[in-house]
Amino acid sequence: MKLIILDDYEQVSEWTAKYIRNRIKKFNPGPDRFFTLGLPTGSTPLGCYKKLIEYHKKGEISFQYVKTFNMDEYVGLPRDHPESYHSFMWNNFFKHIDIRAENAHILDGNASSLEKECQDFEAKIKAAGGIELFVGGIGPDGHIAFNEPGSSLVSRTRVKTLAMDTILANARFFDGDLSKVPTMALTVGVGTVMDAREVMILITGSHKAFALYKALEEGVNHMWTVSAFQQHPQAVFVCDEDATQELRVKTVKYFKGIMDVHNKMVLD
């Protein structure tokens, strides 16, 4: 596991965007060899998406031969609802780059059979050759996608009932009206993400510091699903200084000591 510690959110966003840009360019995708990228929603990746759009407009990166697979989607929310993850991804990223609509895969929370939709999503990932790089964020409780505390660490894409804490937290996006907040979602599983050849987790802010501590300095625990990535052979955690507040000083010093070498290898 690698830990990249940067000064602030802006630096995390820029580092992540550069990493994704360079990974795609090095892969050299083409019509017979697509780069497959797993993507999250939420506030954490927004800065990264803005940077990737900037690199695209400068001609530094193309997404013509990239296939994306998003982590999750609400059940029952219309696709064009402003809070759907379809809307989020198209408004904040996809419509600003040259990705083809048929290559941007997002779970359908209105499918006639939600179980089949989840099975089909897994099949699409497999048919695409698996995911090269899966980027994710976490919540303060260490959840990734909608794999909330207690989720199986070998879970696959499935229907999930949302925890009350999640529903309460999401109420702010629905005018504070709990009755409007979806209570179910489709989500990739922890095992789905673990199957990616590389996983990158973005963690920013002091409110996620304890989750980073649990992910790095304690054992694998299904009550902190992000801790599963301790066992991934190519996992990178990218965080800001605020997110390191719960880590031991020697842990921070250790990872900062090897960070410069890693940066030269992947960002030059």
Give CA angle at 8 (50, 52), nearest 5°: 15
> In angstroms, rounded to a whole number, what is the distance separating the alpha carbons of residues 215 and 226?
6
Give 268's contacts (C-beta < 8 A, 6+ positions apart): none
Type of residue numbered 229: F
Structure tokens given for 97: 């780059």
Structure tokens given for 172: 């702010």
User: Which residues belong to the active site?
Assistant: 72, 141, 143, 148
Q: Which domains does the chain have, with CATH numbers?
A: 2-267 (3.40.50.1360)
pTM of the model: 0.95
pLDDT (0 to 100) of residue 260 = 74
What distance lies between CA 22 and its chain's CA centroid? 18
Instruction: Give pLDDT < 70 ranges for the chain.
Output: 262, 264-268
The enclosing H or E element of 222 equals none
Q: Which residues pair with 68 in a beta bridge?
A: 37, 104
pLDDT (0 to 100) of residue 268 = 59
pLDDT (0 to 100) of residue 266 = 64
Type of residue numbered 14: E
pLDDT in tens, 157-171: 999 999 898 899 889
- CA dist 215 → 44, 84, 140, 203 (Å): 18, 29, 11, 11
Enter the DSSP assignment of 260. Answer: H
Strands (E), 55-163: 66-70, 72-74, 104-105, 133-137, 158-161
> In angstroms, rounded to a whole number, what is the distance separating the alpha carbons of residues 10 and 241?
12
In contact, 225 and 143? CB cutoff 8 Å: yes
Residue 61 phi/psi, 5° resolution?
A: -155, 140
pLDDT (0 to 100) of residue 259 = 82
- Please state whether 264 falls in left (phi above 0), alpha (psi between -120 and 50) or beta: alpha
